[in-house]
Amino acid sequence: MTDTATEQSRGDLLTIEGLGHVYEGRNRFEAIGRLDFTVPEGSFVSIVGPSGCGKTTMLRCLSGLMRPTRGTVRLHGDEVHGVPRDLAIVFQDYSRSLFPWRTVGGNVAFVLPRRSMSPEERRARIEESLDAVGLAGSADKYPWQLSGGMQQRVAIARALAYRPRIMLMDEPFASVDAQTRAELEDLMLSVRDRFDMTILFVTHDIDESVYLADRVLVLSKSPSTIVASIDVDLPRPRDQVATREDEDFVRLRSEIARMIRDQSTKRAPAAVPPAA
């Protein structure tokens, strides 16, 4: 927008300014009120909020899949119109995001450019990506032959192979069991270190948001705004047992839980706020 805005966004990979979205039509619905935040390069930012806080709308606007009604999204200072090359998304619904007619390796290969990469480079990239998610040797299977957690690993490998600067993750582990979830969380932390990836992670799970992130953004109900931005200074590498029993972890998760509860009770009867 202004020179000062670009000035401030140095070191920030993703900059969101005054983002708002209203679904027009007969049931006019303001999903996002106003969002302003930044995602610094190399950081892991979690977004957590009560159910129905417009997270999916927000992610679609951030990624350029949808045009927001108001505000701007900048990636590296360039305004986002359409999905930028440096961005990849891992969706919640892996079974509808992976292509069932392609093998695991074929799904990963599908996002690689055919022209600018030699077959050897492609093969190496596929191998590396599958190896990073612990699926080396599963390249010839079909996604539907794998468990849910494994399928989501394929989706993560596919996003990694694309070599984005930032990965948006939309409640990626919401539909896997608790144990698999813990494994996948640790997988994301190792992947982030290995590929020096910037990650914006949307979740319902407060513990997960704290466990993973450097910073947690707490959203309000729709029309969503940011209630709090909380820096997480827990030591790394994080550990599923030790980190979760750390006093600071417990304090942070309680603080966030309280905020979200307040959000949910504040306007409890109006699950879908009517148009003003």
Partner 1 sequence: MTAVAARPPRVRTPGPRTRGGGSSRLRDFAVRWGALLVLGLLWEVAARFFASPFFPPVSRILERFAELWFTSDPASFFLTERVVTDLLPSLGRLLGGWSIAVVAGVLLGVALGRSRTLAGYVEPIIHFARAIPPPALIPIFFILLGIGDEMKISLIAFAVVWAVLLNTIDGVRSVETLHLDTGRVFDFSRAKVFFGIVLPSASPKIFAGMRVSLSVALIIMVISEMAASSQGIGFNIIIAQRTYRLLDMWAGILLLGILGYVLNALLAAVENRVTRWHRGAREGVS
Do 68 and 79 touch, CB atoms closer than 8 A? no
Question: Among all chains, which residue has been given the structure tokens 């990073």?
Answer: 132
Closer residue to partner 1 (CB): 170 or 207: 170
Nearest distance from C-beta of residue 228 to partner 1, angstroms: 30
Question: In the bound complex, what is the minimum distance in angstroms from residue 134's beta carbon to partner 1?
Answer: 11
Name the residue nearer to partner 1 (CB basis): 9 or 95: 95
Whichever of 1 and 23 has its CB closer to partner 1, that residue is 23
Measuring CA to CA, which residue among 32, 36, 28 is closest to residue 221?
32
CB closer to partner 1, 48 vs 98: 98
Pick from 13, 1, 53: which is nearest to 219 by CA? 53
Closest by CA to 224, choosing from 13, 5, 2, 20, is 20
Report CA torsion sign: 120, 125, 128, 134: negative
Pairing outcome for strands 44-48 and 215-219? parallel
Nearer to partner 1, 151 or 220 (CB): 151
Closest approach of partner 1 to the CB of residue 263, in Å = 28
Helices (H), the chain: 3-8, 55-63, 94-97, 104-109, 119-132, 148-161, 178-195, 206-212, 242-245, 247-266
In the complex, minimum distance from the CB of residue 125 to partner 1, in angstroms, rounded to a whole number: 14
Q: Which of 175, 165, 267 is nearest to 225 (CA)?
A: 267
Q: Which parts of this chain interact with partner 1 (CB under 8 A)?
A: 63, 65, 82-83, 85, 87-89, 91, 93, 95-97, 99-102, 110-111, 141-148, 150-151, 158, 162
> Letter for the amino acid at 80?
V
State the minimum distance, in angstroms, from the CB of residue 99 to partner 1.
7
Minimum separation from the CB atom of position 153 to partner 1 (A):
10
Which residue, 37 or 142, has its beta carbon nearer to partner 1? 142
